[in-house]
């Protein structure tokens, strides 16, 4: 072990290696305004010639809103799009940031990203199961790790309390924040990033959170966080302070020496004033310097004054010494994130959480089943035991089938919220290496789509089919239920595609309603497709309504005899008048078409999940 390096024992906690030193040199980062997936407008630099060194301990980044403190945190944490980095490099212990180095670091976002229907312990165990290798850690080891973190974070009393949702009261804001930190501490990270960890918390809770971070830093870890305007009891726990203004650094050095630095520039702090508030007043131009050499708009020259200081020169010399040993090192991270668990193991854990979330969200799971039972009884009563006499037989069956197909399609509008609701959770967990995108997508299909969509449809079919008095053959019922299921899944798959493509409910509702309405018009019930304009008629080939209606018509009418006074009319005559191919292949080609729509939309939805912008 090198001189001065200390190793933390198991008795002190779960961190074994001292934290790394993070260096960043002459960072220039810019962004462009994005509209309709296209970057337009001139480049706007949000970081300008930013350099610094952050060692094990408490490293705070402060500045007013829009100063670039969160952007700096994201850049050095590898959470900004590397395409925007015009110049500079970030090194961790003298090495370029790679996927391997990311595994030893953790990032706590500003807004707590937790599954609200799970308890504190279950959220931590979810992180442990996916981020600790099953080959190295047994189930007992993971449970012990979770228990140790609960104890260390003071979450023991609320360990079995749910986080909370809009419909479920849960833990307090401070407990949520500590749980978010605990989710990242599972991997024993030696490098911890936090974005505004005290936002939205009262002063006492904020002090407790920073006290926790201070405790972690004293175990030898590097804690880097952005913070807006802390009170003095929080500020005095900082080891290193970086002050920013409009994308530039105005001070970087020991937090305890910052007051002397600004005093040397002619700024005088009032008695009993909080140093953190004093620094913010200087940056915002609310405090004037007593030195005549400083201009009136001195806050604009603070960055220039800092670059002329001895403090800056010493820091740049240290950076130069560190960079010489890694000359020519690559700065980009083009590698895919590594996973410590297998595909099947991730499927089991993520599907388990999805099922648990469904069971604990009755308004979306049980309500779906109850709604289908209600509509099944309602449709059965409206079209109860339809006769075989004309014209009632054809009129009632046509109306019933159209109503059923509409219900199957529009009943799945709620599916558009699936990926939108969990978009932030998915981006954070996927970026942090919890699971593969394919695992998340398949978990929604197997653990959400099948129980929430398929089972209620079969219950609905069993109730409505026999109450309406349709063809009594059991095979006919199975084909009827299969058709409704495929129609429902086709509607769900289109909703999945929309949900994965947009991030707001308002846009999703517009994008899903339009194709559904067009599909209904071109379904063949509201308008005769044979007399439609040729340049519009092609839309019938992408209509879920058309394929669903054709299939249920064939299933019910083929082989059926209808009576009109003394005349017996076969159902095939009606199918022929509707220009419906009622051969064996004619029925199954509708099923194949519905299956094709499902597969195409699902593939496109998965592609859209892969294309989601994970960079903040």
Residue pLDDT, tens place only, 37-60: 455 667 788 899 999 999 999 999
Give the chain's domain count: 2
For residues 352 and 393, membership in a common domain is answered with yes
In a shared domain, residues 308 and 363 = no
* Mean pLDDT score of the chain: 83
DSSP letters for 18-42: PPPPEEEEEEEEEEEEEETTEEEEE
Tell me the sheet residues that pair with 179: none
464 and 500 within one domain? yes
Give CA angle at 445 (439, 447), nearest 5°.
90
Residues 347 and 290 placed together within one structural domain of the fold:
no
Q: What is the pLDDT of residues 261-285, one digit of tens each?
A: 999 888 888 888 899 999 998 888 8
Same domain, 371 and 486: yes
For residues 607 and 612, give the distance between their C-alpha atoms in angstroms, rounded to a whole number: 9
The reported pLDDT for the residue numbered 120 is 94
Residue finishing a domain among 295, 324, 353: 324
The pLDDT-based confidence of 437 (bands split at 50, 70, 90) is very high
Domain span holding position 79: 22-104+189-324
Alpha carbons 86 and 82: distance in angstroms, whole number: 9
Q: What integer is the mean pLDDT of 170-187?
A: 89
For position 289, what pLDDT does the model report? 75
Shared domain check, 581 and 480: yes
CA 580, CA 582: separation in Å to the nearest integer? 6
Indicate whether 436 belongs to any domain: yes
Phi, psi of 28 (to 5 degrees): -125, 110
- Asked, for residue 459, whether it belongs to a domain, the answer is yes
pLDDT-derived band of residue 614, with 50, 70 and 90 as boundaries? low
Domain-ending residue, one of 324, 357, 386: 324
Query: Which of 296, 324, 352 is the last residue in one of the domains?
Result: 324
The 8 Å CB, 24+ separation contacts for 3-10 are 6/220, 7/220, 8/219, 8/220
d(Cα 107, Cα 429) in Å, to the nearest integer? 11
Please check whether residue 40 is in contact with residue 32, taking contact to mean a CB–CB distance below 8 angstroms: yes
């Amino acid at each position: 072990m090198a001189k001065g390096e200390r190793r933390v024992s198991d008795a002190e906690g779960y961190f074994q290696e001292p934290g790394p030193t993070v260096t960043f040199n002459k960072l220039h980062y810019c962004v462009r305004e994005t509209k309709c997936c296209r970057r337009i407008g001139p480049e706007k630099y949000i970081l300008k010639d930013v350099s610094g060194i952050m060692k094990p301990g408490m490293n705070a980044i402060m500045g007013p809103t829009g100063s670039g403190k969160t952007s700096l945190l994201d850049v050095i944490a590898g959470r900004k799009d590397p395409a925007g980095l015009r110049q500079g490099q970030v090194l961790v212990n003298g090495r370029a940031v790679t996927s391997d180095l990311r595994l030893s670091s953790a990032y706590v976002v500003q807004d707590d990203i937790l599954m609200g229907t799970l308890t504190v312990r279950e959220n931590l165990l979810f992180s442990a199961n996916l981020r600790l290798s099953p080959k190295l850690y047994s189930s007992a080891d993971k449970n012990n790790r979770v228990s140790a973190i609960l104890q260390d974070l003071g979450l023991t009393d609320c360990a079995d309390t749910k986080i909370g949702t809009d419909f479920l009261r849960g833990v307090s804001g401070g407990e949520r924040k500590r749980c978010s930190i605990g989710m990242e501490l599972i991997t024993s990270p030696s490098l911890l990033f936090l974005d505004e960890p005290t936002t939205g918390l009262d002063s006492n809770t904020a002090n407790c959170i920073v006290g926790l971070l201070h405790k972690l830093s004293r175990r030898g870890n590097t804690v880097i966080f952005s913070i807006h305007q802390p009170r003095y009891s929080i500020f005095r726990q900082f080891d290193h302070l970086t002050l920013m203004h409009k994308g530039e650094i105005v001070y970087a050095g020991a937090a305890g020496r910052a007051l002397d630095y600004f005093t040397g520039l002619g700024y005088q702090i009032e008695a009993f004033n909080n140093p953190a508030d004093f620094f913010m007043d200087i940056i915002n131009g609310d405090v004037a310097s007593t030195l005549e050499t400083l201009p009136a708009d001195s806050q604009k020259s603070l960055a220039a004054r800092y670059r002329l200081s001895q403090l800056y020169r010493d820091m740049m010399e240290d950076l130069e010494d560190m960079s010489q040993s890694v000359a020519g090192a690559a700065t980009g991270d083009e590698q895919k994130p590594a996973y410590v668990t297998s595909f099947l193991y991730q499927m089991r854990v993520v599907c388990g959480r999805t099922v648990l979330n469904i069971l604990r969200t009755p308004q979306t799971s049980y309500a779906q089943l109850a709604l289908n039972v209600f509509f099944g009884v309602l449709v059965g009563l409206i079209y109860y035991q339809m006769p075989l006499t004309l014209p009632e037989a054809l009129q009632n069956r046509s109306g019933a089938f159209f109503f059923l197909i509409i219900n199957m399609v529009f009943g799945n509008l709620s599916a558009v919220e699936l990926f939108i609701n969990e978009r932030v959770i998915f981006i954070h967990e996927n970026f942090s290496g919890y699971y593969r995108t394919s695992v998340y997508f398949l978990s929604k299909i197997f653990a959400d789509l099948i129980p929430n969509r398929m089972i209620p449809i079969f219950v609905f079919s069993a109730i409505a089919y026999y109450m309406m008095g349709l063809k009594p053959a059991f095979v006919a019922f199975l084909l009827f239920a299969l058709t409704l299921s495929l129609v429902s899944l086709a509607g769900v798959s289109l909703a999945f595609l929309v949900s994965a493509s947009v991030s707001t409910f308002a846009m999703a509702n517009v994008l899903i309603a339009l194709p559904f309405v067009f599909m209904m018009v071109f379904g063949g019930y509201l308008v005769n497709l044979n007399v439609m304009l040729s340049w519009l008629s092609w839309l019938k080939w992408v209509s879920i309504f058309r394929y669903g209606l054709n299939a249920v018509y064939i299933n019910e009418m083929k082989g059926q005899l209808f009576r009109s006074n003394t005349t017996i009319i076969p159902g095939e005559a009606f199918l022929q008048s509707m220009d419906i191919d009622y051969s064996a292949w004619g029925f199954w080609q509708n099923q194949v078409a519905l299956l094709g729509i499902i597969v195409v939309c699902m593939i496109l939805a998965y592609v859209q999940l892969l294309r989601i912008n994970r960079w903040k």
